[in-house]
Amino acid sequence: MAAEKIPLLSPYKMGRFDLSHRVVLAPLTRQRSYNFIPQPHAILFYSQRTTKGGLLIAEAAAISETALGFKDTPGIWSKEQVDAWKPIVNAVHDKGGIFFCQLWHVGRVSNYSFQPNGQAPVSCTDKQLSPAVLSDGTIMEFSPPRRLRTDEITQIVNDFKSAARNAIKAGFDGVEIHSAYGYLIDQFMKDSSNDRTDAYGGSLENRCRFALDIVEAVVIEIGADRVGIRFSLFTADNECWDSNPEALGLHIVKSLNKWGLAYCHVVEPYTTDVEKRQQIRRIHLLMRAAFQGTFIVCGGYDREDGNKAILENHADLVAFGRLFLANPDLPRRFELNAPLNKYDKSTFYTSDPVVGYTDYPFLDSSS
């Protein structure tokens, strides 16, 4: 099939950005940003995955010192971090890519060791997470979080705003607000974690208020056409789920319409249950219909599924995580329907600047 006949490889206009295809690099934390500073080896990782007119979303970047919860993840709050991002962003731009920075606050998914002065992590709640087994088999202990007072919320909103300004200073084309996977914004949105009784808890409107305050602040700072947002309404990561994800999803996307954001990005949880998957896709389709803007889907997609999503108009763009991690030339492989490299889970979060990071072979070198 000629490239232009492959739905995933057809061009798409996302507001001010002319995309040459619809294969998006999903945000991928790799824990190789030593001491929270982006490193030169990320230049190669991202430029390997760049195509002219392709959209890339950078790994989650912490918006402030209180936003951290994992070793060697990058930040975007200091001048040193902004300067360290610049050559990475330049490399993507040199190859004609469009690059968004994912803005992250982990909330209670943290512990004293990551927090300034060993203080408690902040959240919408004081409910502590149970210890979790990380992919390398180590146990991560979470400290009891401190419930943010209502009058402290503006400070966190402002931290998102400054981080967005910093992302633009670093040269990024836009930002993606990370409201997924049980991190701070998701903690506020979902009723398993939000037990507040103030204007930021209780009703759907109240639970979404924090996310919408952040969107508004970031939009005012950098312009709506440079702002995307990511949700995972159906995941239960970090003990964060909702009793009515359909109502939550519809409410939030309808509330976003007043700004005209660059995109809404939704994640499907990993599941082998076909019926459950169909049910989730049905609700995402309702969200797509309600959202006036570009809609990105992600989670378990491959070439066939991705093409189908575009062809049947269930999404405008499809983001690929693990497949893109292991296949730097994923769009080209989709074009040729070539075999894919297998991803190696054991090196997802290891610190080596090359192994499992930039040494996945390109088609030409592996054939």
Ligand X SMILES: Cc1cc2nc3c(=O)[nH]c(=O)nc-3n(C[C@H](O)[C@H](O)[C@H](O)COP(=O)(O)O)c2cc1C
Number of CB atoms found within 10 A of residue 19's CB: 21
Choose, by CB under 6 A, the member of 6, 26, 101, 297 that binds ligand X: 26
Beta bridge partners of 264: 229, 295
Comparing CB distances to ligand X, the nearer of 263 and 320 is 320
Q: CA torsion, points 280, 306, 326, 274, in degrees to nearest 10?
A: 40
The answer to whether residue 357 forms part of the interface with ligand X (CB under 6 A) is no
Measured at CB, which residue is nearest to ligand X? 321
Contact in structure between 248 and 190 (CB atoms under 8 Å):
yes
The answer to whether residue 321 forms part of the interface with ligand X (CB under 6 A) is yes
> Torsion-angle region of residue 356: left (phi > 0), alpha (psi -120 to 50) or beta?
left
Segment lying near ligand X (by CB under 6 A), choices 142-150, 238-246, 256-264, 314-322: 314-322
Segment lying near ligand X (by CB under 6 A), choices 23-31, 48-56, 148-156, 333-341: 23-31
In the three-class reduction of DSSP (H, G, I as helix; E, B as strand; rest coil), residue 279 is classed as helix
Strand duo 17-19 + 12-14: pairing: antiparallel
Segment lying near ligand X (by CB under 6 A), choices 186-194, 202-210, 250-258, 317-325: 317-325
The answer to whether residue 71 forms part of the interface with ligand X (CB under 6 A) is no
Nearest-angstrom CA–CA distance, 247 and 211 = 16
Q: Give me the least distance between CB of 92 and ligand X, in Å please.
A: 17
The answer to whether residue 322 forms part of the interface with ligand X (CB under 6 A) is yes
Q: Give me the least distance between CB of 347 and ligand X, in Å please.
A: 9
Tell me how many residues contact ligand X (CB under 6 A): 21
Q: Is 343 a catalytic residue?
A: no
The answer to whether residue 299 forms part of the interface with ligand X (CB under 6 A) is yes
The one catalytic residue among 181, 183, 200, 263: 183
> For residue 102, what is the enclosing H or E element?
strand 98-104
Residue 291: half-sphere exposure toward Cβ, Cα within 13 Å: 27
The residue ranges that bind ligand X (CB under 6 A) are 26-29, 59-60, 102, 178, 180-181, 230, 267, 298-301, 320-323, 348
